[in-house]
Structure 1
């Protein structure tokens, strides 16, 4: 954030507060020390028996977290894992996820978190692209491996978390997650070494594995703490999944700033405030539709008996901010970031202009450019491009996709694919996506992947996937379908065809079966026309029809 805005967003949460923890951390960890093993070791020395993690009945102190990382790293070494090897991780919000992640980071191996909803084509691509040496999978998701396409090489070793209720894929060589034993010395890891490959939806192709260096996650913790006004001793409360950047980022916020990180299994609109009150949470994390869902709940005595001081509110509709603050007493912080970059924009607390991206963070450069990468003046919409002044504060590229890396980072700027306007007062406003992607309930949906799945149905000649507005904010997935001559199907057949092949959140809510699709002169489908037509009389609505997804 710019200096004047930085002071406002950092100090508006409370008056007379001391120098924030994040400002001290930047000094305490010079560039060469921004690796997780060094951070864990020093914070263990500084905070010792202070509680770092609360997950169900599990409690880790700062000292225990460092010891767990070293022991987990040794278990990986004993399994033959070397620095640079990939470790696929398919697990819900459990401490074992962090145990394996910390072990990888300590050793210098690379964690590959996998969205637990992925199936079929999407899951197959991740195994094919990342080529992991080890799969760590929670027992309840082991059955998902059955959906991996024949011919895709699975990891030679598998660790299972939890008790298994059913037999595993015969291709898996599975053993239980090892118990703690000896401790491994920290690996010779550098700030620019990849600590995680996080997959983000493709637009004209399959998902891209974003190579996130050790120092990028350090800066996620710093930039986010600054935006949220986090103080030492805060209790950070998240229900978001660990396989996404946000929840992993919140762990770094807690670790770096001397806070407690509370990890709930999943979001519950009816139970959110009760849980926040139980944990004495002071900072929360809400994305997109979550704030709307909380407002839709009946008013209770828990609405203002909690200690939540501020909450991240990325993607929350602007009209939600004021009623949310009035009812719950919690300001929502606008912001913008991506897996490839960082928490690069943030609003004030409370937001001085709800629904905007906010102001640019210190240490980040941004431009709005035209199709030739030439800078545009304030007030004119163009593509947002970004770069960081701090070393390795952004991702280093896409794993195994050099052409996509060069395309995205061309001319020494990361090209976001988002159309944005910068106002004269320094506010940035998101206009729309230039990429062919959809955002639903905090999940990025690749229209290309959904189209590939639907077009594999023998009755489908062509289809187009496009977003329609959701009443909860963000998008719903819509499909326009052209049938093969002489073939017929019902919209629900499309839903059933998608189940088990793509993630549940990517399955279309809306289906239109058309006699022809709108085309450009060169034969491309005019998705803009379909978007503009919206929900028409011939649009089938899965939710209105009462069709439940089979997960």
Structure 2
């Protein structure tokens, strides 16, 4: 283990049950999890895992078996995850936006024969060919820790750090969702790495309202468990109610995505802006221009870093050493480089694809479903374009798939978005390619204006002209009421690309030809 992990007292076995047992011994009476009205201490959390594991085993579930769940953020999701881990089974949290063929596909890929589901999603399940056993929340069929007749069982000591604890499906924004095999150790390394970056301690309260089928929220639980702190499972993100929710949770640390930071900053100032205890927020993909206004207005420091469902916190920062708009430096136990299309390492300052690897056992996911296990130490191509500065700091540029090719030049959609977002009338913006009559791409922007504000598209284009190369200026601009987002707050650019240029789209070429 690294010195960082030693200081956080990770268990030698690097499994979820071993972490639960260790924390129950050391922090038994401390509040571990709060979900709605349910509060669970560390001792109770381990007991709930043991009881849920026994209940699952009575349904014929054993080591390696997959158990799916489709429900909103509830304590039952945590019980199922920890109960499966205790037993050596595999939890499969499903995106609650899935339906039809996509839902059938992920259920089939996972191999799950048991499904925990909320009643509101039953009609979707009926559209699939799922023939396994369904446990409907709110009925007595749900195996869980509340049945006093079921004793707890001892954790399966045969479970190893490299055994799969969860299968997380990618969002599928560029194709069908892919199931990622996430081993026990990966969650513990997530907890240690992000915990060190945020400076977490046993007195911290972590509030996250992102859905538990997403690695961000799921790993917040393990950040709390590793630090011996408290995880508060929040509700669906609401701009209007967010700071009241943070205050009610008594959180010291919160979790946001860049789009959420923009929405909160764009909201009219309120009396609850600083009526909370939160001092820092993990907020990946937040533009540098928002860091200072967010801290001054809300009293919260933004923290960035780089990790994916398939990897871990590869790039990060530490308290007292952060740079707005930067991902950080390579963390101990990981390696990274920036490569061109041929796979050759590029010079510092030159954009390229980020490629990463780790020598930590179980530090990364072991691969995708239906694919052979990944060989430890293999390089992973992330699909993200970054720049490595000469001093070793990394800066995000764009997703590789979002690069726009126009007039022989590569254009970063993120760079154009950043320029447009500096206009005082712009609340949110997404930039994407649309087909050109001359082959290659044209640059198009979908813009959400701040409430009560207007701007002429030609004025907006001229506003960004001094900040961008001529070939990067958007030709097409659409004003929209909202951007299409995933359940985790990411802009669904494939929807915007499919929508393309409409009858109401402003066209700079049409204006100039008049």
TM over 0.5: yes
Relative to structure 1, the CA distance from residue 175 to residue 474 in structure 2 (aligned partners, 3 Å threshold; closer, same or farther) is: farther
Matched, 1:68 2:48: yes
- Is this contact kept in 2: 1:72–1:103, CA < 8 A? yes
Compare 422-431 and 58-67 and name the one that shifted more: 422-431
Matched, 1:160 2:136: yes
- Is this contact kept in 2: 1:317–1:473, CA < 8 A? no
Relative to structure 1, the CA distance from residue 301 to residue 387 in structure 2 (aligned partners, 3 Å threshold; closer, same or farther) is: same
Mapped partners of 2:500, 2:125: distance in 1 = 32
Deviation of residue 371 (structure 1)?
A: 3.1
Deviation of residue 110 (structure 1)?
A: 0.7
Deviation of residue 430 (structure 1)?
A: 1.6
* Equivalent in 370, 377, 386 of residue 420 of structure 1: 386
The within-5 A match list for 1:55-454 is 55-148=35-128, 152=129, 154-162=130-138, 175-177=141-143, 179-180=146-147, 181-187=150-156, 188-202=158-172, 205-349=175-319, 352-402=322-372, 412-435=378-401
Match of 2:201, SS state, is coil
What is the match of residue 490 of structure 1? none
What is the match of residue 508 of structure 1? 495
**CA displacement 1:364-405 (0-9 Å, x = unmatched):** 111112333332221222221111121110011001134xx7
Deviation of residue 292 (structure 1)?
A: 1.6
Relative to structure 1, the CA distance from residue 504 to residue 155 in structure 2 (aligned partners, 3 Å threshold; closer, same or farther) is: farther
**CA displacement 1:139-197 (0-9 Å, x = unmatched):** 2222221333xxx4x1421111126xxxxxxxxxx944454322122122000000011
Mapped partners of 2:428, 2:390: distance in 1 = 27
Mapped partners of 1:60, 1:83: distance in 2 = 26
Mapped partners of 1:266, 1:283: distance in 2 = 17
Compare 324-333 and 301-310 and name the one that shifted more: 301-310
**CA displacement 1:100-139 (0-9 Å, x = unmatched):** 1111111011111111011123212101211212111122
**CA displacement 1:390-421 (0-9 Å, x = unmatched):** 1110011001134xx77xx7992111111221
Mapped partners of 1:477, 1:34: distance in 2 = 42
Match of 1:147, SS state, is coil
Compare 290-299 and 45-54 and name the one that shifted more: 290-299
- Is this contact kept in 1: 2:353–2:381, CA < 8 A? yes
- Is this contact kept in 2: 1:384–1:419, CA < 8 A? yes
The TM-score normalised by the length of structure 1 is 0.72
Mapped partners of 1:242, 1:358: distance in 2 = 26
The TM-score normalised by the length of structure 2 is 0.77
Gaps of 5+ in 1: 4-19, 164-173, 439-465, 482-497, 516-533, 539-551
Mapped partners of 2:245, 2:348: distance in 1 = 44
Gaps of 5+ in 2: 405-412, 437-483, 509-514
What is the match of residue 548 of structure 1? none
Mapped partners of 2:186, 2:356: distance in 1 = 14
Mapped partners of 2:114, 2:367: distance in 1 = 22
Deviation of residue 432 (structure 1)?
A: 1.7
Relative to structure 1, the CA distance from residue 505 to residue 381 in structure 2 (aligned partners, 3 Å threshold; closer, same or farther) is: closer
Mapped partners of 2:22, 2:305: distance in 1 = 30
Relative to structure 1, the CA distance from residue 245 to residue 476 in structure 2 (aligned partners, 3 Å threshold; closer, same or farther) is: farther
- Is this contact kept in 2: 1:94–1:265, CA < 8 A? no
What is the match of residue 42 of structure 1? 22
Say how many residue pairs are matched.
435
Mapped partners of 1:300, 1:204: distance in 2 = 38
Match of 2:385, SS state, is strand
Matched, 1:24 2:4: no
Match of 2:263, SS state, is helix
Mapped partners of 1:384, 1:504: distance in 2 = 20
Deviation of residue 336 (structure 1)?
A: 1.2
